[in-house]
């Protein structure tokens, strides 16, 4: 006997409806018998890419997201060219115009939107087209072959893209718009003016602040008359005055609609059997016309259809970009300053650059950019994270040049980069490879680009660039990741959810944690397990048992794996101070184990490379004998405290920098942190220990100690922010411990101090470390408490036999 | 029959791996959280990374070098990556582990 499956009917074969099915199939492939109705005679295609098809930069074939075979392979019944005319909610079935009746158990309405046609005479004349479907585009392409003059009504995003496309097809194009400047919903007057000028240079003609009275023509369109009486000629007239949610069908079935079909946070309509997603939906009073929110909705709807019943859609903030090659424009949020808001402006007419940022209560509320848009995703992120930007304010307008440019600083627009520019230095991926993958493999998200090209999959410093490429290639509808980003595919939980759950529910084991946060996999993956292990360890020092199976190999065996499978051994050299006796022991041990490479590291230590795993415990035993402990050069932990010789020898030295460095290292060594953590102490402002590119830097001055935080000398060079000045070594230790503890408790796993501080804002750190003395003392105390359990030398333990199975083969078969 | 006893189930930690050295190279034995045991060549099809050092999750292991994810049941890399780490037969009998060695005299 076959089990009768639940029947799901989907009305709408567009991006939102089909995305929901894709998400549903991922979670629950066999639950439903699925039927899809599509009014258009096409499989599911990428509507965002209509503009490149119109402009001739792409073929329609390239925009297909799921071809016919996809429906077959997934056993989906597809009816194209059929319009559903009735939803019979009483009998739970839908009926088409030609009499087909299909029953449902669950219904998904994804009818999208309709173009707004102006209520003026002549609207039905041949030659008047909307700009909505591939059908419209094909008609426009035919019209462009015979006709000469085109008029586009509507100077918004869609209208300008249509106008640009028709112009590239050789037509003379005029744009008619009600407002004083184009794209008034995305741009302010200045930005809109610059856009208009650039488009005029490309041959478009603008009729602004004009109202259309009638469309002229007898048997086909010949022109248009404005309210003021002026007439212009046209062989083709494109209506792009906006879209309206297509709610007719839902409304006629008695489903509650306002501007759109009203849904709750689970994408359910007022009829609990009926869900709705996409442009036809009204959620918390908002309707959306961009793809990113639709995809978020699709994910939520699928989650509930699959009976997981966990996710909620909480609305989206959206950003926009115009898909006109060569014009860089970005807009997000509330870009018109209200009462009490502040505006930051940058206008360089000669370079064609305009930026406006709107701030409220030290937070970014909106951004408009023209000419230079590379920082768009960054601003957007700051907006969604609600980051306090008061400390960034001075250079906020100039963008994030020190972050995310992967050594490509100076190139302000990914669009301007040559095709062979290397975007991802770690994996050697160039711009062309990424763009081709986005187009050929139809990628939409950063995660997909990572999986297919490996770009941004290693150190992640080029993430901003890859996001910019996605946005450039996909155009306006790409919106970076949603503000709440799941840790990995095992879960919907974001990093911030985990410590909260641990604290609120007093969870002390990984199994409980996975259960509480509804993990989808039995034991997580290589991404989430180390994170959970870290959060639990930080929350319950001395109580939680570290799970070595959830440690990356380097932390599990306390040595750094090398490309050939051997390991490096780097003993701790306190404050970079050593002695002939220590050096002699290292030399003898290196010789005894025939270490192929001995290297002085950047952290003032000695690295022994090429040690086989079997030899590690023995070698550590000898190092321990000689007085060394692990240098933790392999861990997301305190690495080194780099110092200069300071007052003892240097004629410029102001304090005992090496002595202080040793004290700091003795206090902090062995601590686990969200990512690696480096410290340096310089004896004077000449800063020979390079303290201003460390996570925590101390610069001695005559009157005390300057404390600097959040530096990074690695992938993305970032100079520290000055935190404060203190007068005694004891205070340096207290601030250092408190800062590390704040970072340990508040940062996401795998987040260095630099991006963490950029995310939460320097003001936040100052408030907790500098201004709140009692809070600082508490943090410091918690740090010292957790250190009680982390300063047993892991090398000594293993030399004495701990985890012996990690270092020995199970068997050898001759 | 070339089944060779290489140890006991208890010798491999749950979600862990141990290596058996053979004349034709290292074979990694993996133990999943539900006590299933799998055997693959200890070489990632990507750049030869030692799979035995990776994090074991579900029926998969992630290579420690460049995070390719390999299916323990088939040895194949997870899409979109392409490649295969050859798999070997392994059996558990009363807690003892037996590995089948092919093309190899005992």
Q: What is the pLDDT of residues A153-203, one digit of tens each?
A: 999 888 998 999 999 999 999 999 999 999 988 888 888 998 999 899 989
Query: Inter-chain contact A805–B18, Cβ cutoff 8 Å?
Result: yes
How many other CB atoms sit within 10 Å of the CB of residue A124? 8
Cβ-based neighbours of B79, under 8 Å, separated by 6 or more: none
Q: Are A728 and A704 in contact (CB under 8 A)?
A: yes
Q: Are B64 and A561 in contact (CB under 8 A)?
A: yes
DSSP-derived 3-state class of residue A598:
strand
Query: Inter-chain contact B55–A549, Cβ cutoff 8 Å?
Result: yes
b/e code A9-29 from CB counts within 10 Å (16+ = b): bbbbbbbbbbbbbbbbbeebe
What is the distance between the terminal CA atoms of chain B, rounded to a whole angstrom?
Answer: 10
Please give the helix or strand (H or E) that residue A342 lies within, else none.
strand A342-348
Chain B contact set for A814 (CB, 8 A): 23
pLDDT at A510 over 90: yes
**CA A120 to CA B82: how far, in whole Å?**
59
**CA A202 to CA A187: how far, in whole Å?**
20
The domains spanning A6-114+245-305 and A319-477 adopt the same CATH topology? no
Determine contact: A565 vs chain B, CB below 8 A.
yes
Question: What would the two tokens of residue A793 be?
Answer: 């030398």
pLDDT in tens, A35-80: 999 988 888 988 878 888 898 888 888 788 888 999 999 999 999 9
- pLDDT recorded at residue A2: 57
pLDDT at A278 over 70: yes
Strand order in the sheet with B90-93: B3-8, B96-100, B90-93
Determine contact: A460 vs chain B, CB below 8 A.
no
Confidence band, pLDDT 50/70/90 cuts, at residue A503? very high
Fold designation for A638-786: Sulfite Reductase Hemoprotein; domain 1 (3.30.413)
**CA A450 to CA A719: how far, in whole Å?**
28
Global pTM reads: 0.70
CATH 3.40.50.300: does it fit domain B3-100? no
DSSP-derived 3-state class of residue A7:
strand
DSSP letter assigned to residue B10 = G
How many other CB atoms sit within 10 Å of the CB of residue A724? 15
Please give the helix or strand (H or E) that residue A734 lies within, else none.
helix A729-746
Q: Are A538 and A745 in contact (CB under 8 A)?
A: yes
- pLDDT recorded at residue A61: 84
Q: How far is A693 from chain B (nearest CA, A)?
A: 27
- Please report the DSSP string for B13-68 in residue order: PTTEEEEEEETTEEEEEEE-TTS-EEEEESS-TTT---GGGSEEETTEEE-TTT--
Chain B contact set for A567 (CB, 8 A): none
- pLDDT recorded at residue A411: 44
Residues of chain B with a CB closer than 8 angstroms to some CB in chain A: 4, 6-7, 11-16, 18-23, 26, 29, 33-34, 47-50, 53-58, 60, 62, 64-67, 69, 80, 101, 104
**CA A590 to CA A567: how far, in whole Å?**
13
b/e code A223-234 from CB counts within 10 Å (16+ = b): bbbeeeeeebeb
Chain A contact set for B48 (CB, 8 A): 565
Residue ranges of the alpha helices (H) in A445-496? 446-453, 463-474
Chain A contact set for B17 (CB, 8 A): none
- Specify the CATH class of A128-241 in words: alpha beta
Query: Inter-chain contact A451–B80, Cβ cutoff 8 Å?
Result: yes
ipTM above 0.85, yes or no: yes
Chain B contact set for A452 (CB, 8 A): 80
Chain B contact set for A550 (CB, 8 A): 15, 55
Closest by alpha carbon to A472, among A19, A44, A57, A56? A57
Highest mean pLDDT among A456-460, A576-580, A644-648: A576-580
Query: Inter-chain contact A810–B64, Cβ cutoff 8 Å?
Result: no
Highest mean pLDDT among A433-437, A571-575, B62-66: A571-575
pLDDT in tens, A136-152: 999 999 999 888 999 99
Query: Inter-chain contact B15–A813, Cβ cutoff 8 Å?
Result: no
- Cross-chain CB nearest to B14 (options A452, A529, A549): A549
Cβ-based neighbours of A211, under 8 Å, separated by 6 or more: A178, A226, A227
Give me the phi and psi of A212, to 5 degrees please. Answer: -85, 135
Confidence band, pLDDT 50/70/90 cuts, at residue A636? very high
Chain B contact set for A451 (CB, 8 A): 80
pLDDT in tens, A400-441: 654 444 444 444 467 767 787 778 777 778 888 898 898 888
Instruction: Give the 3-state secondary structure of B68-80.
Output: CEEECCCCEECCC
Q: Please name every residue paired with B55 in a beta bridge, in sequence order, or none if there are none.
A: B62
- pLDDT recorded at residue A405: 40
Average pLDDT of span A270-275: 96
pLDDT at A492 over 90: no
- pLDDT recorded at residue A418: 76
- Please report the DSSP string for A41-71 in residue order: SS-EE-GGGHHHHHTTSS-GGGGEEE-HHHH
Mutate to test the interface with B, among A526, A559, A567, A806 (most CBs of B within 10 A): A526
Determine contact: A562 vs chain B, CB below 8 A.
no
b/e code B40-64 from CB counts within 10 Å (16+ = b): bbbbbbbebbbbbbbbbbbbbbbbb
Q: How far is A604 from chain B (nearest CA, A)?
A: 26
Query: Inter-chain contact B22–A813, Cβ cutoff 8 Å?
Result: yes
Rg (Cα) of chain B, in Å, rounded?
Answer: 13
Q: Please name every residue paired with B31 in a beta bridge, in sequence order, or none if there are none.
A: B16, B37
DSSP-derived 3-state class of residue A8:
strand
Confidence band, pLDDT 50/70/90 cuts, at residue A729? very high
Tokens 């015979």, located at residue: A146
**CA A453 to CA A801: how far, in whole Å?**
43
- Cross-chain CB nearest to A561 (options B4, B21, B53): B53
Determine contact: A1 vs chain B, CB below 8 A.
no
Kindly report the CATH number that applies to the domain delimited by A555-625. 3.90.480.10
**Domain range annotation of chain A:** 6-114+245-305, 128-241, 319-477, 497-551, 555-625, 638-786
**CA A25 to CA A34: how far, in whole Å?**
10
Closest by alpha carbon to A9, among A39, A38, A36, A40? A36
Q: Which CATH number is A6-114+245-305's, of 3.40.470.10, 3.50.50.60, 1.10.1040.10, 1.10.540.10?
A: 3.50.50.60
- pLDDT recorded at residue A409: 42
**CA A496 to CA B99: how far, in whole Å?**
44
Q: Are A274 and A264 in contact (CB under 8 A)?
A: no
**CA A155 to CA A303: how far, in whole Å?**
38
Query: Which of A:503-532 have CB within 8 Å of B?
Result: 521-526, 529-530
DSSP-derived 3-state class of residue A208:
strand
- Mean pLDDT taken over chain A: 89
Question: What would the two tokens of residue A496 be?
Answer: 């911030």
**CA A19 to CA A13: how far, in whole Å?**
10
pLDDT at A468 over 90: no
Q: How far is A567 from chain B (nearest CA, A)?
A: 12
pLDDT at B103 over 70: no
Closest chain A residue to the Cα of B48, Cα to Cα:
A564
Query: Inter-chain contact A810–B54, Cβ cutoff 8 Å?
Result: no
Question: What would the two tokens of residue A511 be?
Answer: 């199994």
Confidence band, pLDDT 50/70/90 cuts, at residue B1? low
**CA A10 to CA A94: how far, in whole Å?**
10
CATH 3.30.390.30: does it fit domain A319-477? yes
Q: How big is the A-B interface in CB pairs under 8 Å?
A: 89
Please give the helix or strand (H or E) that residue A24 lies within, else none.
helix A15-27
Higher pLDDT: B18 or A346? It is B18
Q: Please name every residue paired with A130 in a beta bridge, in sequence order, or none if there are none.
A: A239
Question: What CA–CA distances, in Å, run from A31 to A7, A100, A244, A304?
Answer: 9, 24, 33, 12
b/e code A455-469 from CB counts within 10 Å (16+ = b): bbbbebbbbbbbbbb
Mutate to test the interface with B, among A524, A563, A810, A814 (most CBs of B within 10 A): A810
């Amino acid at each position: 006997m076959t089990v009768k499956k639940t029947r799901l009917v989907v009305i709408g074969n567009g991006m939102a409806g089909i995305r929901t099915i894709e998400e549903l199939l991922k979670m629950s492939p066999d639950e439903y018998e699925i039927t899809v109705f599509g009014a258009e005679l096409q499989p599911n295609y990428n509507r965002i890419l209509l503009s490149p098809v119109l402009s001739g930069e792409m073929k329609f074939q390239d925009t297909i997201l799921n071809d016919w075979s996809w429906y077959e392979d997934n056993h989906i019944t597809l009816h194209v060219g059929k319009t559903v005319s009735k939803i019979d909610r009483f009998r739970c079935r839908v009926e088409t115009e030609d009499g087909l009746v299909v029953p449902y158990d669950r219904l998904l309405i994804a009818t999208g939107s309709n173009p707004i046609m102006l209520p003026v005479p002549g609207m039905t004349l041949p030659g008047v087209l909307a700009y909505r479907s591939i059908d419209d585009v094909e008609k426009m392409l035919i019209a462009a072959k015979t006709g000469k003059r085109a008029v586009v009504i509507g100077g918004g995003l869609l209208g300008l893209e249509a106008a640009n496309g028709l112009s590239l097809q050789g037509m003379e194009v005029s744009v008619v718009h009600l407002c004083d400047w184009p794209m008034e919903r995305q741009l302010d007057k200045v930005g809109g003016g610059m856009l208009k000028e650039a488009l005029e240079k490309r041959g478009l003609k603008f009729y602004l602040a004009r109202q259309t009275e009638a469309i002229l023509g007898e048997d086909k369109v010949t022109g248009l008359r404005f309210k003021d009486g002026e007439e212009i000629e046209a062989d083709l007239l494109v209506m792009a005055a906006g879209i309206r949610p297509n709610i007719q069908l839902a409304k006629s079935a008695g489903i509650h609609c306002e501007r759109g079909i009203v849904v709750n946070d689970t994408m359910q309509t007022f009829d609990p059997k009926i869900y709705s997603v996409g442009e036809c939906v009204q959620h918390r009073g908002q309707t959306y016309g961009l793809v990113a929110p639709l995809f978020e909705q699709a994910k939520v709807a699928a989650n509930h259809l699959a009976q997981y019943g966990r996710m909620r859609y909480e609305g989206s903030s959206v950003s926009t970009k115009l898909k006109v090659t060569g014009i860089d424009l970005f807009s997000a949020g509330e870009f018109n300053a209200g009462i009490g808001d502040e505006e930051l402006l940058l206008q360089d007419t000669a370079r064609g650059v305009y930026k406006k940022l709107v701030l409220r209560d030290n937070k970014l509320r909106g951004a408009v950019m023209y000419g230079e848009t590379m920082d768009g995703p960054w601003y957007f992120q700051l907006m969604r994270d609600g980051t306090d930007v008061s400390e960034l304010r001075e250079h906020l307008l100039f963008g994030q040049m020190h972050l995310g440019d992967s050594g490509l600083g100076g190139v302000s627009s990914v669009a301007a980069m040559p095709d062979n520019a290397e975007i991802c230095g770690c994996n050697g991926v160039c711009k062309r490879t990424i763009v081709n993958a986005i187009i050929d493999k139809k990628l939409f998200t950063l995660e997909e680009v990572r999986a297919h090209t490996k770009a941004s999959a290693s150190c992640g410093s080029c993430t901003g660039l890859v996001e910019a490429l996605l946005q450039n290639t996909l155009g306006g509808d790409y919106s970076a990741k949603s503000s709440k980003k799941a840790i990995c595919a095992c879960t919907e939980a974001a990093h911030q959810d985990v410590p909260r759950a641990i604290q609120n529910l007093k969870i002390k084991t990984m199994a409980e944690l996975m259960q509480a946060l509804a993990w989808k996999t039995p034991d997580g993956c290589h991404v989430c397990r180390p994170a959970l292990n870290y959060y639990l360890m930080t929350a319950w020092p001395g109580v939680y048992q570290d799970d070595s199976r959830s440690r990356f190999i380097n932390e599990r065996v306390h040595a750094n794996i090398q490309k050939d499978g051997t390991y490096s051994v780097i003993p701790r050299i306190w404050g970079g101070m050593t002695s002939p006796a220590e050096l002699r022991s290292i030399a003898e041990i290196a010789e005894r184990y025939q270490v192929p490479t001995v290297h002085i590291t950047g952290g003032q230590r000695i690295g022994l490379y090429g040690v086989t795993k079997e030899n590690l415990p023995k070698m550590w035993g000898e190092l321990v004998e000689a007085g060394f402990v692990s240098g933790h050069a392999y861990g997301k932990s305190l690495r080194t405290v780099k110092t200069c010789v300071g007052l003892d020898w240097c004629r410029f030295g102001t304090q005992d920098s090496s002595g202080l460095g040793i004290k700091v290292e003795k206090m902090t060594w062995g601590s686990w942190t969200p990512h690696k953590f480096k410290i340096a102490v310089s004896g004077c402002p000449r800063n020979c220990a390079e303290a201003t590119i460390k996570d925590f830097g101390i610069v001695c001055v005559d009157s005390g100690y300057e404390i600097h935080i959040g530096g990074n000398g690695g992938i993305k060079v970032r100079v520290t922010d000055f935190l404060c000045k203190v007068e005694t070594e004891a205070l340096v230790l207290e601030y250092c411990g408190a800062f590390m503890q704040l970072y340990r408790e508040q940062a996401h796993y795998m987040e260095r101090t630099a991006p963490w501080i950029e995310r939460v804002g320097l003001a936040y750190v100052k408030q907790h470390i500098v201004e709140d003395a009692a809070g600082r003392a508490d943090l410091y105390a918690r740090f010292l408490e957790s250190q009680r359990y982390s300063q047993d030398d892991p090398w000594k333990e293993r030399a004495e036999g701990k985890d012996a199975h990690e270092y020995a083969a199970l068997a050898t078969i001759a | 029959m070339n089944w060779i006893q290489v140890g006991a189930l208890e010798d491999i930690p749950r979600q862990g791996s141990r290596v058996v050295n053979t004349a034709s190279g290292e074979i990694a034995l993996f133990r999943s959280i539900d006590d299933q045991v799998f055997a693959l060549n200890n070489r990632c099809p990507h750049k030869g990374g030692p799979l035995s050092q990776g994090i074991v999750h579900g029926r998969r292991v992630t290579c420690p070098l460049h995070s390719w994810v390999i299916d323990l049941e088939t040895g194949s890399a997870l899409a979109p990556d392409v490649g295969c780490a050859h798999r070997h037969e392994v059996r558990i009998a009363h807690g003892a582990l037996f590995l089948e060695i092919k093309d190899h005299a005992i």
